[in-house]
Amino acid sequence: MTSAKRFTLIVVVPVGLIILVIISKWLPDTVDINNNNNNNNNNNNNSNNNNHSVESDVKNDNSTNTNKERERTDRELDLNTFEIIERRRNLSKTILFWTPRLKDPYWSTPAGKVAFQGCRYSNCEFTADKDRLDEADMLLFYCSELPHFPDSRHSHQLYVHVTWEAPKKARSRRYGLYGEAINMTVGYRKDANIYLPYFIPEPREDPEENYTIRIPFDNRSRSVAWLVSNCNPVSRRDIYVKELSKYIDVDIYGKCGNNSCDDVHGEHAHGPCFRKFETFYKFYLALENNICKDYYTEKLMNSFEHEIVPIVFGGADYEHDFPKGSLINIVDFPNPKDLANYLKTMTEEEYNSHLQWKAKYRIGIRLLHCTLCEFLHDSAYTRGEQILPPSYGGYYSKWWDDSCHNDLIYELKEKGGW
Protein backbone atom coordinates (compact mmCIF):
# COMPACT_ATOMS: atom_id res chain seq x y z
CA MET A 1 0.00 0.00 0.00
CA THR A 2 2.82 2.39 0.79
CA SER A 3 4.40 1.83 -2.60
CA ALA A 4 1.11 2.40 -4.39
CA LYS A 5 0.63 5.75 -2.67
CA ARG A 6 4.08 6.86 -3.68
CA PHE A 7 3.39 5.92 -7.28
CA THR A 8 0.24 8.05 -7.29
CA LEU A 9 2.28 11.10 -6.29
CA ILE A 10 4.45 10.65 -9.37
CA VAL A 11 1.41 11.12 -11.61
CA VAL A 12 -0.68 13.70 -9.79
CA VAL A 13 1.96 16.20 -8.65
CA PRO A 14 3.06 17.22 -12.20
CA VAL A 15 -0.57 17.90 -13.10
CA GLY A 16 -0.92 20.07 -10.01
CA LEU A 17 2.24 21.88 -11.01
CA ILE A 18 0.75 22.59 -14.43
CA ILE A 19 -2.34 24.02 -12.74
CA LEU A 20 -0.20 26.28 -10.57
CA VAL A 21 1.91 27.50 -13.49
CA ILE A 22 -1.06 28.33 -15.72
CA ILE A 23 -3.17 29.94 -13.00
CA SER A 24 -0.19 31.98 -11.84
CA LYS A 25 -0.47 33.86 -15.13
CA TRP A 26 -3.71 35.36 -13.85
CA LEU A 27 -2.69 35.99 -10.23
CA PRO A 28 -0.98 39.14 -8.86
CA ASP A 29 2.71 39.69 -9.45
CA THR A 30 3.59 38.60 -5.93
CA VAL A 31 2.58 34.98 -6.49
CA ASP A 32 5.70 32.78 -6.28
CA ILE A 33 5.71 29.17 -7.33
CA ASN A 34 9.38 28.50 -6.60
CA ASN A 35 8.51 26.76 -3.32
CA ASN A 36 6.11 24.50 -5.16
CA ASN A 37 8.84 23.57 -7.63
CA ASN A 38 11.20 22.71 -4.75
CA ASN A 39 8.58 20.54 -3.08
CA ASN A 40 7.90 18.77 -6.35
CA ASN A 41 11.59 18.08 -6.84
CA ASN A 42 11.84 16.63 -3.31
CA ASN A 43 8.85 14.41 -3.93
CA ASN A 44 10.32 13.20 -7.21
CA ASN A 45 13.65 12.40 -5.53
CA ASN A 46 11.91 10.42 -2.80
CA SER A 47 9.87 8.55 -5.36
CA ASN A 48 12.95 7.52 -7.31
CA ASN A 49 14.10 5.60 -4.23
CA ASN A 50 11.03 3.36 -4.29
CA ASN A 51 11.20 -0.31 -5.06
CA HIS A 52 10.99 -0.49 -8.88
CA SER A 53 9.53 -3.96 -8.85
CA VAL A 54 6.53 -2.79 -6.81
CA GLU A 55 6.00 0.11 -9.23
CA SER A 56 5.95 -2.31 -12.10
CA ASP A 57 3.36 -4.51 -10.36
CA VAL A 58 0.87 -1.69 -9.83
CA LYS A 59 1.50 0.24 -13.06
CA ASN A 60 -0.85 -1.67 -15.31
CA ASP A 61 -3.57 -1.88 -12.65
CA ASN A 62 -3.62 1.88 -12.08
CA SER A 63 -3.18 3.15 -15.67
CA THR A 64 -6.91 3.33 -16.39
CA ASN A 65 -7.66 5.20 -13.16
CA THR A 66 -4.74 7.54 -13.79
CA ASN A 67 -6.04 8.50 -17.26
CA LYS A 68 -9.49 9.20 -15.84
CA GLU A 69 -7.95 11.31 -13.09
CA ARG A 70 -5.97 13.28 -15.67
CA GLU A 71 -9.10 13.92 -17.78
CA ARG A 72 -11.01 15.09 -14.69
CA THR A 73 -8.15 17.39 -13.70
CA ASP A 74 -7.97 18.87 -17.22
CA ARG A 75 -11.69 19.66 -17.10
CA GLU A 76 -11.26 21.35 -13.73
CA LEU A 77 -8.29 23.28 -15.08
CA ASP A 78 -10.33 24.59 -18.02
CA LEU A 79 -13.14 25.60 -15.67
CA ASN A 80 -10.80 27.32 -13.22
CA THR A 81 -9.02 29.22 -15.99
CA PHE A 82 -12.37 30.36 -17.43
CA GLU A 83 -13.53 31.55 -14.01
CA ILE A 84 -10.29 33.45 -13.42
CA ILE A 85 -10.52 35.16 -16.81
CA GLU A 86 -14.15 36.11 -16.22
CA ARG A 87 -13.33 37.45 -12.76
CA ARG A 88 -10.53 39.63 -14.14
CA ARG A 89 -12.76 40.89 -16.97
CA ASN A 90 -15.45 41.96 -14.52
CA LEU A 91 -13.13 43.98 -12.29
CA SER A 92 -13.18 47.76 -12.51
CA LYS A 93 -10.28 49.10 -14.58
CA THR A 94 -8.22 52.22 -13.92
CA ILE A 95 -6.68 54.16 -16.82
CA LEU A 96 -3.98 56.64 -15.84
CA PHE A 97 -3.10 59.71 -17.94
CA TRP A 98 0.66 59.94 -17.50
CA THR A 99 1.25 62.85 -19.90
CA PRO A 100 -0.54 66.22 -19.62
CA ARG A 101 -1.94 66.34 -23.17
CA LEU A 102 -4.36 63.49 -22.62
CA LYS A 103 -5.96 65.27 -19.67
CA ASP A 104 -7.24 67.91 -22.09
CA PRO A 105 -10.95 67.29 -22.82
CA TYR A 106 -10.22 68.13 -26.47
CA TRP A 107 -8.45 64.76 -26.71
CA SER A 108 -10.35 62.65 -24.24
CA THR A 109 -12.99 63.03 -21.55
CA PRO A 110 -13.11 64.31 -17.98
CA ALA A 111 -11.53 62.16 -15.31
CA GLY A 112 -13.67 59.76 -13.33
CA LYS A 113 -16.28 57.13 -14.14
CA VAL A 114 -19.07 59.30 -15.53
CA ALA A 115 -17.48 59.42 -18.99
CA PHE A 116 -18.06 55.70 -19.48
CA GLN A 117 -21.79 55.67 -18.81
CA GLY A 118 -22.68 55.56 -22.50
CA CYS A 119 -20.07 52.93 -23.41
CA ARG A 120 -20.53 49.20 -23.93
CA TYR A 121 -18.43 48.69 -20.79
CA SER A 122 -18.77 51.27 -18.04
CA ASN A 123 -16.70 49.90 -15.14
CA CYS A 124 -13.60 51.94 -15.96
CA GLU A 125 -12.17 55.13 -14.54
CA PHE A 126 -9.87 57.80 -15.96
CA THR A 127 -7.47 59.51 -13.59
CA ALA A 128 -4.48 61.85 -13.78
CA ASP A 129 -3.50 61.19 -10.16
CA LYS A 130 -0.04 59.62 -10.30
CA ASP A 131 -0.35 58.57 -6.67
CA ARG A 132 -2.71 55.89 -7.97
CA LEU A 133 0.00 54.33 -10.12
CA ASP A 134 -0.09 50.98 -8.35
CA GLU A 135 -3.77 50.43 -9.08
CA ALA A 136 -3.58 51.45 -12.76
CA ASP A 137 -4.26 48.77 -15.36
CA MET A 138 -3.23 51.00 -18.25
CA LEU A 139 -0.98 54.07 -18.55
CA LEU A 140 -1.44 56.45 -21.49
CA PHE A 141 1.50 58.34 -23.00
CA TYR A 142 0.99 60.94 -25.71
CA CYS A 143 3.73 60.69 -28.32
CA SER A 144 4.74 64.37 -28.53
CA GLU A 145 5.29 64.51 -24.75
CA LEU A 146 7.87 61.78 -24.31
CA PRO A 147 7.81 61.25 -20.57
CA HIS A 148 9.95 60.23 -17.70
CA PHE A 149 8.51 56.84 -16.97
CA PRO A 150 7.44 55.62 -13.53
CA ASP A 151 10.23 54.31 -11.32
CA SER A 152 8.50 50.95 -11.00
CA ARG A 153 6.09 48.96 -13.10
CA HIS A 154 3.79 46.03 -12.41
CA SER A 155 3.84 43.25 -14.96
CA HIS A 156 0.10 43.48 -15.63
CA GLN A 157 0.24 47.19 -16.55
CA LEU A 158 -0.05 48.20 -20.19
CA TYR A 159 2.04 51.16 -21.37
CA VAL A 160 0.08 52.64 -24.25
CA HIS A 161 1.38 54.97 -26.96
CA VAL A 162 -1.44 57.29 -28.12
CA THR A 163 -1.20 59.67 -31.06
CA TRP A 164 -3.13 61.46 -33.76
CA GLU A 165 -0.14 63.53 -34.81
CA ALA A 166 2.24 62.96 -37.69
CA PRO A 167 5.67 61.50 -36.81
CA LYS A 168 7.62 64.59 -37.86
CA LYS A 169 5.86 66.68 -35.22
CA ALA A 170 6.38 64.09 -32.53
CA ARG A 171 10.01 63.20 -33.34
CA SER A 172 12.42 63.09 -30.43
CA ARG A 173 15.86 61.69 -29.79
CA ARG A 174 14.30 59.75 -26.92
CA TYR A 175 12.07 57.69 -29.18
CA GLY A 176 14.34 54.61 -28.97
CA LEU A 177 14.00 54.44 -25.19
CA TYR A 178 10.30 55.20 -25.52
CA GLY A 179 9.76 52.28 -27.86
CA GLU A 180 11.44 49.87 -25.48
CA ALA A 181 8.96 50.74 -22.71
CA ILE A 182 5.72 50.77 -24.71
CA ASN A 183 3.86 47.54 -25.38
CA MET A 184 0.64 48.78 -26.98
CA THR A 185 -0.31 51.42 -29.57
CA VAL A 186 -3.46 53.45 -30.22
CA GLY A 187 -3.90 55.92 -33.07
CA TYR A 188 -4.40 56.64 -36.75
CA ARG A 189 -2.03 53.94 -38.04
CA LYS A 190 -3.77 50.81 -39.30
CA ASP A 191 -1.05 48.65 -37.78
CA ALA A 192 -1.72 50.00 -34.27
CA ASN A 193 -3.13 47.59 -31.69
CA ILE A 194 -6.22 49.79 -31.64
CA TYR A 195 -6.92 51.61 -34.91
CA LEU A 196 -8.48 54.91 -33.88
CA PRO A 197 -8.36 57.57 -36.62
CA TYR A 198 -10.12 60.92 -36.48
CA PHE A 199 -13.18 59.36 -38.09
CA ILE A 200 -14.28 56.44 -40.24
CA PRO A 201 -17.01 56.50 -42.91
CA GLU A 202 -19.49 53.85 -41.81
CA PRO A 203 -22.40 52.37 -43.79
CA ARG A 204 -25.75 53.62 -42.55
CA GLU A 205 -27.96 51.03 -40.90
CA ASP A 206 -30.90 52.34 -42.92
CA PRO A 207 -29.43 53.66 -46.21
CA GLU A 208 -31.74 55.98 -48.08
CA GLU A 209 -31.80 54.20 -51.44
CA ASN A 210 -33.96 56.77 -53.20
CA TYR A 211 -32.49 59.84 -51.54
CA THR A 212 -30.74 62.30 -53.84
CA ILE A 213 -28.72 65.27 -52.68
CA ARG A 214 -29.29 68.28 -54.88
CA ILE A 215 -27.22 71.40 -54.33
CA PRO A 216 -28.37 74.54 -56.19
CA PHE A 217 -25.15 74.87 -58.13
CA ASP A 218 -25.75 78.42 -59.34
CA ASN A 219 -26.03 79.67 -55.76
CA ARG A 220 -22.39 78.74 -55.14
CA SER A 221 -20.83 81.87 -56.57
CA ARG A 222 -17.30 81.16 -55.28
CA SER A 223 -14.98 78.35 -56.37
CA VAL A 224 -12.45 77.16 -53.77
CA ALA A 225 -12.03 77.91 -50.05
CA TRP A 226 -9.09 77.06 -47.79
CA LEU A 227 -8.95 77.49 -44.01
CA VAL A 228 -5.34 77.29 -42.81
CA SER A 229 -3.18 78.37 -39.87
CA ASN A 230 0.15 76.62 -40.60
CA CYS A 231 1.69 78.75 -43.33
CA ASN A 232 4.92 76.77 -43.76
CA PRO A 233 4.08 73.05 -43.45
CA VAL A 234 6.57 70.31 -44.21
CA SER A 235 4.25 68.96 -46.92
CA ARG A 236 4.67 72.27 -48.84
CA ARG A 237 1.02 72.24 -49.81
CA ASP A 238 1.29 76.03 -50.12
CA ILE A 239 3.39 75.60 -53.28
CA TYR A 240 0.55 73.70 -54.93
CA VAL A 241 -2.09 76.22 -53.84
CA LYS A 242 -0.02 79.11 -55.18
CA GLU A 243 0.13 77.44 -58.59
CA LEU A 244 -3.55 76.46 -58.50
CA SER A 245 -4.51 80.07 -57.78
CA LYS A 246 -3.20 81.09 -61.20
CA TYR A 247 -6.03 79.21 -62.89
CA ILE A 248 -8.97 79.35 -60.44
CA ASP A 249 -9.98 81.59 -57.55
CA VAL A 250 -8.83 80.29 -54.15
CA ASP A 251 -9.97 82.26 -51.09
CA ILE A 252 -7.70 81.67 -48.09
CA TYR A 253 -9.09 82.00 -44.55
CA GLY A 254 -7.34 81.90 -41.19
CA LYS A 255 -3.85 83.01 -40.19
CA CYS A 256 -2.41 82.52 -43.67
CA GLY A 257 -5.07 84.45 -45.60
CA ASN A 258 -6.88 87.75 -45.80
CA ASN A 259 -10.40 86.41 -45.25
CA SER A 260 -12.30 85.70 -42.04
CA CYS A 261 -15.47 83.92 -40.97
CA ASP A 262 -17.54 86.25 -38.79
CA ASP A 263 -14.31 87.55 -37.24
CA VAL A 264 -13.30 84.03 -36.25
CA HIS A 265 -9.70 83.03 -36.99
CA GLY A 266 -7.87 79.78 -36.56
CA GLU A 267 -8.05 76.31 -38.02
CA HIS A 268 -10.16 74.89 -35.17
CA ALA A 269 -12.84 77.58 -35.52
CA HIS A 270 -14.42 75.56 -38.30
CA GLY A 271 -18.09 76.01 -37.37
CA PRO A 272 -18.77 79.54 -38.68
CA CYS A 273 -16.34 79.05 -41.56
CA PHE A 274 -17.86 75.87 -42.91
CA ARG A 275 -21.36 77.26 -42.69
CA LYS A 276 -20.10 80.04 -44.90
CA PHE A 277 -18.23 77.65 -47.19
CA GLU A 278 -21.20 75.38 -47.88
CA THR A 279 -23.32 78.42 -48.68
CA PHE A 280 -21.04 80.22 -51.13
CA TYR A 281 -18.29 77.78 -52.24
CA LYS A 282 -18.21 74.64 -54.35
CA PHE A 283 -14.92 73.13 -53.15
CA TYR A 284 -12.74 73.02 -50.05
CA LEU A 285 -9.00 72.30 -49.86
CA ALA A 286 -8.39 69.55 -47.27
CA LEU A 287 -4.59 69.44 -47.61
CA GLU A 288 -2.59 67.80 -44.82
CA ASN A 289 0.46 69.29 -43.08
CA ASN A 290 2.28 65.97 -43.42
CA ILE A 291 2.07 63.28 -46.08
CA CYS A 292 2.39 60.20 -43.89
CA LYS A 293 1.15 56.63 -44.02
CA ASP A 294 -2.56 56.34 -43.09
CA TYR A 295 -2.60 59.97 -41.89
CA TYR A 296 -5.70 62.11 -42.31
CA THR A 297 -7.22 64.63 -39.92
CA GLU A 298 -10.17 66.84 -39.09
CA LYS A 299 -9.48 68.83 -42.27
CA LEU A 300 -11.27 66.15 -44.26
CA MET A 301 -13.84 65.40 -41.56
CA ASN A 302 -14.97 69.03 -41.43
CA SER A 303 -15.73 69.09 -45.14
CA PHE A 304 -17.45 65.69 -45.02
CA GLU A 305 -19.76 67.02 -42.31
CA HIS A 306 -20.93 69.81 -44.61
CA GLU A 307 -22.37 70.03 -48.12
CA ILE A 308 -19.13 70.83 -49.90
CA VAL A 309 -16.75 68.72 -52.02
CA PRO A 310 -13.23 68.27 -50.56
CA ILE A 311 -10.02 68.38 -52.57
CA VAL A 312 -7.47 66.25 -50.72
CA PHE A 313 -3.72 65.82 -50.43
CA GLY A 314 -2.30 63.41 -47.87
CA GLY A 315 -0.95 59.96 -47.05
CA ALA A 316 -4.24 58.13 -46.55
CA ASP A 317 -5.42 55.44 -48.93
CA TYR A 318 -8.19 57.67 -50.22
CA GLU A 319 -9.30 55.26 -52.94
CA HIS A 320 -10.05 52.40 -50.54
CA ASP A 321 -10.77 54.11 -47.21
CA PHE A 322 -13.49 56.51 -48.37
CA PRO A 323 -16.69 56.16 -50.39
CA LYS A 324 -16.28 56.29 -54.14
CA GLY A 325 -16.70 59.79 -55.53
CA SER A 326 -16.65 61.45 -52.11
CA LEU A 327 -13.51 63.50 -52.76
CA ILE A 328 -11.10 64.82 -55.39
CA ASN A 329 -7.41 63.92 -55.04
CA ILE A 330 -4.85 66.33 -56.50
CA VAL A 331 -2.46 63.47 -57.34
CA ASP A 332 -5.00 62.23 -59.92
CA PHE A 333 -4.23 65.27 -62.08
CA PRO A 334 -0.97 65.93 -63.94
CA ASN A 335 -0.72 69.50 -62.66
CA PRO A 336 -2.71 72.26 -60.90
CA LYS A 337 -3.84 73.71 -64.24
CA ASP A 338 -5.57 70.46 -65.21
CA LEU A 339 -7.26 70.28 -61.81
CA ALA A 340 -8.49 73.87 -62.18
CA ASN A 341 -9.93 73.10 -65.62
CA TYR A 342 -11.75 70.06 -64.22
CA LEU A 343 -13.27 72.13 -61.42
CA LYS A 344 -14.33 75.00 -63.68
CA THR A 345 -16.01 72.77 -66.28
CA MET A 346 -17.86 70.55 -63.80
CA THR A 347 -21.61 70.41 -64.38
CA GLU A 348 -24.24 70.58 -61.65
CA GLU A 349 -24.99 66.88 -62.12
CA GLU A 350 -21.31 65.97 -61.83
CA TYR A 351 -20.96 68.13 -58.74
CA ASN A 352 -23.90 66.54 -56.96
CA SER A 353 -22.57 63.06 -57.77
CA HIS A 354 -19.70 63.81 -55.36
CA LEU A 355 -22.22 64.19 -52.51
CA GLN A 356 -24.43 61.13 -53.08
CA TRP A 357 -22.31 58.94 -50.81
CA LYS A 358 -23.91 60.71 -47.82
CA ALA A 359 -27.15 58.81 -48.44
CA LYS A 360 -25.43 55.50 -47.65
CA TYR A 361 -22.64 56.47 -45.26
CA ARG A 362 -22.24 58.48 -42.09
CA ILE A 363 -19.24 59.88 -40.21
CA GLY A 364 -18.35 57.38 -37.50
CA ILE A 365 -16.22 58.44 -34.52
CA ARG A 366 -14.85 55.82 -32.14
CA LEU A 367 -14.39 57.36 -28.71
CA LEU A 368 -11.04 56.84 -27.01
CA HIS A 369 -12.43 56.16 -23.54
CA CYS A 370 -15.06 53.65 -24.69
CA THR A 371 -12.56 51.84 -26.91
CA LEU A 372 -9.95 51.48 -24.17
CA CYS A 373 -12.47 50.31 -21.58
CA GLU A 374 -13.82 47.70 -23.98
CA PHE A 375 -10.30 46.49 -24.72
CA LEU A 376 -9.58 46.01 -21.01
CA HIS A 377 -12.75 43.95 -20.55
CA ASP A 378 -13.33 42.11 -23.80
CA SER A 379 -10.45 41.58 -26.21
CA ALA A 380 -8.15 38.80 -27.32
CA TYR A 381 -5.71 40.08 -24.70
CA THR A 382 -8.14 39.92 -21.76
CA ARG A 383 -9.48 36.56 -22.93
CA GLY A 384 -5.96 35.17 -22.84
CA GLU A 385 -5.89 34.63 -26.61
CA GLN A 386 -3.21 37.24 -27.28
CA ILE A 387 -0.01 38.18 -25.48
CA LEU A 388 1.22 41.70 -26.12
CA PRO A 389 4.96 42.09 -26.70
CA PRO A 390 7.07 43.44 -23.83
CA SER A 391 8.05 46.35 -26.09
CA TYR A 392 7.59 47.66 -29.61
CA GLY A 393 11.21 48.71 -30.13
CA GLY A 394 11.67 48.49 -33.91
CA TYR A 395 8.11 49.61 -34.62
CA TYR A 396 8.94 53.13 -33.49
CA SER A 397 11.93 53.41 -35.78
CA LYS A 398 9.65 52.59 -38.72
CA TRP A 399 6.88 54.83 -37.43
CA TRP A 400 9.10 57.88 -37.01
CA ASP A 401 11.63 57.43 -39.78
CA ASP A 402 10.06 55.57 -42.69
CA SER A 403 6.40 56.52 -42.96
CA CYS A 404 6.27 60.04 -44.44
CA HIS A 405 6.63 61.28 -48.01
CA ASN A 406 6.85 65.03 -47.62
CA ASP A 407 8.77 65.51 -50.88
CA LEU A 408 5.71 64.47 -52.85
CA ILE A 409 4.87 68.03 -53.94
CA TYR A 410 8.30 68.40 -55.53
CA GLU A 411 7.88 65.06 -57.31
CA LEU A 412 4.48 66.11 -58.64
CA LYS A 413 5.93 69.44 -59.71
CA GLU A 414 8.77 67.80 -61.62
CA LYS A 415 6.54 65.16 -63.18
CA GLY A 416 3.84 67.64 -64.21
CA GLY A 417 6.24 70.27 -65.49
CA TRP A 418 4.79 73.18 -63.59
* The pLDDT of residue 219: 86
Give the list of residues 6+ apart from residue 77 with CB closer than 8 angstroms, or none.
18, 19, 22
Q: What is the DSSP string of 28-88?
A: -TT---HHHHHHHHHHHHHHHTS-HHHHHHHHHHHHHHHHHHHHHHHHHHHHHHHHHHHHH
* The pLDDT of residue 199: 94
Q: What is the DSSP letter of 384?
A: T
Q: Provide long-range contacts, Cβ within 8 A and 24+ apart, for 117-121.
A: 118/370, 119/367, 119/369, 119/370, 119/373, 119/374, 120/370, 120/373, 120/374, 121/370, 121/373, 121/374, 121/376, 121/377, 121/378
**Res. 118: pLDDT tops 90:** no
pLDDT, tens digit, for every residue of 144-190? 676 678 988 888 899 998 888 888 655 554 555 566 788 888 999 99
Report the C-alpha gap between 138 and 376 in whole angstroms.
9
* The pLDDT of residue 396: 65
Report the C-alpha gap between 1 and 315 in whole angstroms.
76
CA angle centred on 100, ends 95 and 106, rounded to 5°: 85
Report the C-alpha gap between 131 and 234 in whole angstroms.
40
pLDDT, tens digit, for every residue of 33-48? 234 444 444 444 444 4
Give the list of residues 6+ apart from residue 342 with CB closer than 8 angstroms, or none.
328, 333
User: Per-residue pLDDT averaged across 127-144, rounded?
Assistant: 89
Neighbour count for residue 197 (Cβ, 10 Å) = 21
Q: Confidence band (pLDDT; 50, 70, 90) for 198?
A: very high
Q: Which of the pair, 14 or 386, is modelled with greater confidence? A: 386
Instruction: For the full predicted model, state whether its pTM sits above 0.85.
Output: no
119 and 374 in contact (C-beta within 8 Å)? Answer: yes
**Res. 240: pLDDT tops 90:** yes
pLDDT, tens digit, for every residue of 330-349? 999 999 999 999 999 999 99
Q: Which one of 78-82, 103-107, 228-232 scores highest in mean pLDDT?
A: 228-232
Report the C-alpha gap between 308 and 220 in whole angstroms.
10
* The pLDDT of residue 407: 93
* The pLDDT of residue 50: 47
Percentage of the chain exceeding pLDDT 70: 65
361 and 202 in contact (C-beta within 8 Å)? Answer: yes
176 and 146 in contact (C-beta within 8 Å)? Answer: no
Report the C-alpha gap between 236 and 287 in whole angstroms.
10
* The pLDDT of residue 37: 41
328 and 283 in contact (C-beta within 8 Å)? Answer: yes
* The pLDDT of residue 338: 98
Q: Distance from first CA to last CA of the chain, Å, rounded?
A: 97
Q: Confidence band (pLDDT; 50, 70, 90) for 206?
A: confident
Report the C-alpha gap between 277 and 361 in whole angstroms.
22
Give the list of residues 6+ apart from residue 56 with CB closer than 8 angstroms, or none.
none
